Structure 1
Amino acid sequence: MALATCSPDPILTQALFTQLGAIAQATRQSLGRHPRRIMAGLGALLLGTGVTAFGIAPLAPDASRLPVSQVVETLSIASFPSDALSAQVPLTLYRSDTVRRDDTAQSLLNRLGVGDREAETFLRKDKTAQLLLAGRASKLVHVEASDSGELLRLTARWLPNDGRNFNRLVVERTPQGLSARMESGELTASARLASGTIRSSLFAATDAVNLPDNVAVQLAEIFSSDIDFRRDLRQGDRFSVVYEALEADGEPLRAGRVLSAEFINNGREHQAVWFGGAGQKGAYFGFDGQSSRKAFLGSPLEFSRVSSGYGMRFHPVLGRKKAHLGVDYAAPTGTPVRTIADGVVSFAGWQRGYGNVIEVSHRDKKSTLFAHLSRIDVKKGQRVEQGDFIGAVGSTGLSTGPHLHFEFRDNGVHQDPLEIARKSENIPISRALRGEFDTVAQEQRAKLSAAATLQQASAE
């Protein structure tokens, strides 16, 4: 079968080329005469094309409806060394807690995430390791254990007393088994800053800023001769304090002495800085160098509640009104009692309704009496200094419960002890130590300013 073919007409072809040449010539002439119009038209054409392209783009298939294929490939691990594949990296786990009063070796280790029967038995039977659960609670304990719960090392730290040393018990696993040893270390001190605002009470305010209880007690004690913390506090009163944090191996175990403090009560500033120069007993002084230490302390107990003031009252035992010639302080039996000024013990023994009594004679014919004591720790004729502990609170004699009855006499005449403390004179600092004191005071003033700034930043 033959295919039909045709050839172009030479005349038509010649006419077509002639017409195209004329169109090209006309286009060149128009572009020469009107270049801007031609370019604007070309731009509009391209823009319309682009818009059209953009408009039809959504007509493409929805990607979420496209078919999904899963490809699984097997990787060869023949090139890896066999020992590298089977090796396991051992893990050491760390945990900390404190010893509780009712703890056993098992309960303590369980709480620390250690499941080791051998270690449990060792803590119960080894003489040295038994110290972990003996005596005081609240020992700080750190353990290192394997990922299987085996005890590797246990370290416990605690304070044997109120001194500057601490005990360290170390129980560790050796190639020969578990072993225990006792060590002793010296506490290191660092300065801590705190500040707060009174909303209801002093202790509520100190709790709100996590101030240790013994620091709060010291704060009240420092200013007790100037501020009655039962009646003088005002909402909005502020305090700042710098105190020691006593640490064992970098771990804080307890708070130490207040180094400086400021208390703004009802708009009035009260300041104090601790200074103990050579040849002078440490005490608190104002930043101006005037001693804040009074000849008589404000209370024979570290901050406590006055349960019965000076003056007429209804006697709870006799059942009638009677002049109360002293101040009663409610406190638990055994609370330490201290002398409020330097003096000599003039009596230590039993006195009828007063029970166990201590009397101390001071200069200028002044004397103090401490009654209802549970024990007496001094003897007649013994010299005592301000702040020395001389006995303990009790309920001996005519007493309805544990408390301290405290009296102050001036030339044999009873006086209100709280008023005496407020009106007593200050004990001045030695002139020879003034330069050293100024250096300490300047440093502490800067730290107190920093503490006040922290409080302001927290409030904002």
Structure 2
Amino acid sequence: MSALPSLFQRLSRPLHARGRLLLRHWKQRSRQSWRPALLGLSLVALGLSAGAYAVAAVVVSFAPDPARLPVQEVTAEVRALPFVSPFATASAPDMPRSANPPDSGGAGYRFNLYRSELSRPQDTAEGLLYRLGIHDPQAAVFLKRDILTHRHLLGRTGRLLSAEASERNTLLRLTARWSPSDDGSFERLIIERAGDGFSSHMEKAMLTASLRMASGVIESSLFASTDQAGIPDAVAVQLAEIFSADIDFHSDLRQGDRYAVVYEMLEGDGEPLRAGRVLSAEFINAGKAYQAVWFTEPNADLPAPVVAGQPTQTTGRSGYYNLDGQSLKRAYLASPLAFSRVTSGFRMRLHPILKTWRAHLGVDYAAPIGTPVRAVGDGVVEFAGEQGGYGKVVILRHRNGHQTLYAHLSRILVRHGQRIAQGQTLAASGATGWATGPHLHYEFRINGQHQNPLLIVRRSESAPPVSAANRPAFDHIAQQARLQLVSAQLLASR
């Protein structure tokens, strides 16, 4: 390695000589342009780099040749770690149902699949299983023959289904849930594998209630807006009914109207089954705000009307009030249908059958055959039967000489002399008598004189306000409703 310095000196000597010549040349032309000088310095640097590369090449040439190095082979045994299955083994003592089902192929674990669906009226046994992603001819045969399945599932609509299937997509358990009544309960139909076959049984359990908040803006109609906001139709119907005394939802809605609603969602086993009661709501129509809150006045027999997590019940004098405690309930409902479209109002018109201009002494509502028709107020059935051009008709007698008439019905559900409560179903709409299509004809008479039914509800008297004894309890609920409605309105502004 001692020869390296002398070798470097010999290689770099010509470069140093060139550098001295360039420096002397630069001194002679110092008054000239700087650019030639810079060019010279660049050449010097290039020469030094070339010299360094040459030295490196010489140094590398002294390294040993890798091909001539000795090679030693080392062999060692590596043992694989034992495989631990993430699934439950067949020997686990807490394995649900059969630990090693006949369709598992003798595997030591289970890999179950879970799927949910809603039943449809056209469902067959095979079609239902197909929509659940299950291929199980044995299960299909059982569903065809099972009495409970035919009675409560096949041909029914909107029932919540949850299925548990094996890794081979064969049925292990099928559960259908629905809430048939307003008693706060729901029913389960359970179909499950039992040995080499299947069994079914019914169960009944209590619903739980969770709170939902939503809001929206009117662009065309109330139902179009609530559909876009994901609000159930049952809530939209309640919303229209609550404010029907102040807002005509057939003609008063304006583009840009806003609303917010807080309502219950009734659940079974943690799954939403249907919408419950609207607890509070706000509707801004043409710039004017209307609020409502549900309140039940406690009484001595039932002092606790509201239980957290359970559906609200009508235990005392219940109803909707504005946030100042004034009742929103009127002597008459705005419409004998829960929600519909007015097709002919109280005015002169060309009669669709007689083809003459005549006064239309009532209001016609568009309604498919079979739509429930309800009493707009408390009363007594004065007539129930057929009457000329009215077809099947019901006439109610109310106090103060008031009468209401419901015509063109397909089915009558009350009898002469029967006492009727406001909101009670009287009949089903139809197309009997002089009717060009299915609809409901509705009239309101005072001492035998026809009146515009759409104006009667706004002129009718309200129910009493919240009593002084229950005002503190109401004020507490009203304050909660204010905060919830503010939060709900923020959902539409995001």
TM over 0.5: yes
Range with greater deviation from structure 2 (96-105 or 247-256):
96-105
Structure 1 counterpart of 2:425: 389
Of all paired residues, the percent bearing the same amino acid is 55
Range with greater deviation from structure 2 (447-456 or 171-180):
171-180
Range with greater deviation from structure 2 (413-422 or 357-366):
357-366
Range with greater deviation from structure 2 (437-446 or 325-334):
437-446
1:196 counterpart = 2:216: yes
321, 329, 332: which is aligned to 1:285? 321
- Superposed counterparts of 1:20-99, under 5 Å: 89-99=109-119
Structure 2 counterpart of 1:310: 346
1:448 counterpart = 2:485: yes
Following superposition, the deviation at residue 78 of structure 1 comes to 6.4
1:238 counterpart = 2:258: yes
Give 3-state SS (helix, strand or coil) of 1:282's partner.
strand
Between the aligned partners of 1:83 and 1:352, the Cα distance in structure 2 is 83
Task: State the superposition RMSD in angstroms.
Answer: 2.9
Q: How many residues align?
A: 393
Give 3-state SS (helix, strand or coil) of 1:219's partner.
helix
- Superposed counterparts of 1:363-378, under 5 Å: 363-378=399-414
Give per-residue Cα distances to partners, 1:157-207, cap 9 Å, x unaligned. Answer: 123345532221112223464221111122211111000111122111111
Range with greater deviation from structure 2 (219-228 or 264-273):
219-228
**Is the alpha carbon distance of 1:310 and 1:115 closer, same or farther for their aligned partners in structure 2, counting shifts above 3 Å?**
same
Paired letter, 1:437: F
Indicate if the aligned counterparts of 1:104 and 1:133 stay in contact, CA closer than 8 A: no
Indicate if the aligned counterparts of 2:124 and 2:154 stay in contact, CA closer than 8 A: no
Structure 2 residues not aligned, in runs of 5+: 1-44, 58-73, 86-105, 300-315
- Superposed counterparts of 1:93-108, under 5 Å: 93-108=113-128
**Is the alpha carbon distance of 1:171 and 1:322 closer, same or farther for their aligned partners in structure 2, counting shifts above 3 Å?**
same
Structure 1 counterpart of 2:234: 214
**Is the alpha carbon distance of 1:353 and 1:437 closer, same or farther for their aligned partners in structure 2, counting shifts above 3 Å?**
same
1:109 counterpart = 2:113: no
1:269 counterpart = 2:289: yes
Between the aligned partners of 2:337 and 2:263, the Cα distance in structure 1 is 21
Give per-residue Cα distances to partners, 1:103-144, cap 9 Å, x unaligned. Answer: 222222222222222222222223334446434222211111
**Is the alpha carbon distance of 1:52 and 1:368 closer, same or farther for their aligned partners in structure 2, counting shifts above 3 Å?**
farther
**Is the alpha carbon distance of 1:451 and 1:124 closer, same or farther for their aligned partners in structure 2, counting shifts above 3 Å?**
same
Give per-residue Cα distances to partners, 1:76-119, cap 9 Å, x unaligned. Answer: 676767998x9754311111112222222222222222222222
Between the aligned partners of 1:213 and 1:253, the Cα distance in structure 2 is 13
* Normalised TM-score (structure 1): 0.79
Structure 2 counterpart of 1:412: 448
Structure 1 counterpart of 2:100: none
Between the aligned partners of 1:154 and 1:216, the Cα distance in structure 2 is 32
Paired letter, 2:354: L
Give 3-state SS (helix, strand or coil) of 1:207's partner.
helix
Between the aligned partners of 1:378 and 1:299, the Cα distance in structure 2 is 19
Give 3-state SS (helix, strand or coil) of 1:368's partner.
strand
**Is the alpha carbon distance of 1:355 and 1:131 closer, same or farther for their aligned partners in structure 2, counting shifts above 3 Å?**
closer
Give 3-state SS (helix, strand or coil) of 1:235's partner.
coil
Structure 1 residues not aligned, in runs of 5+: 1-47, 61-72
Indicate if the aligned counterparts of 1:192 and 1:242 stay in contact, CA closer than 8 A: yes
Following superposition, the deviation at residue 287 of structure 1 comes to 0.8
- Superposed counterparts of 1:158-173, under 5 Å: 158-161=178-181, 163-173=183-193
346, 349, 352: which is aligned to 2:385? 349
Following superposition, the deviation at residue 415 of structure 1 comes to 0.9
Paired letter, 2:455: E
Structure 1 counterpart of 2:27: none
Between the aligned partners of 1:444 and 1:97, the Cα distance in structure 2 is 34
250, 269, 291: which is aligned to 2:270? 250
Between the aligned partners of 1:198 and 1:130, the Cα distance in structure 2 is 42
Give per-residue Cα distances to partners, 1:211-255, cap 9 Å, x unaligned. Answer: 111111111111122112222111211000011101111100111
Following superposition, the deviation at residue 389 of structure 1 comes to 1.2
Indicate if the aligned counterparts of 1:368 and 1:406 stay in contact, CA closer than 8 A: yes
Indicate if the aligned counterparts of 2:386 and 2:393 stay in contact, CA closer than 8 A: yes
Indicate if the aligned counterparts of 1:295 and 1:341 stay in contact, CA closer than 8 A: yes
Paired letter, 2:491: L
Following superposition, the deviation at residue 364 of structure 1 comes to 1.6
1:182 counterpart = 2:219: no
**Is the alpha carbon distance of 1:143 and 1:203 closer, same or farther for their aligned partners in structure 2, counting shifts above 3 Å?**
same
**Is the alpha carbon distance of 1:128 and 1:269 closer, same or farther for their aligned partners in structure 2, counting shifts above 3 Å?**
same
Paired letter, 1:222: I
Between the aligned partners of 1:337 and 1:260, the Cα distance in structure 2 is 26
Between the aligned partners of 2:76 and 2:228, the Cα distance in structure 1 is 61
Paired letter, 2:241: E
Paired letter, 1:378: V
Structure 2 counterpart of 1:125: 145
Q: Could you list the structure 1 runs, at least 4 aligned residues long, displaced by more than 4 angstroms after superposition.
A: 73-84
Give 3-state SS (helix, strand or coil) of 1:128's partner.
helix
Structure 1 counterpart of 2:30: none
**Is the alpha carbon distance of 1:119 and 1:412 closer, same or farther for their aligned partners in structure 2, counting shifts above 3 Å?**
same
1:294 counterpart = 2:294: no
Paired letter, 1:407: E
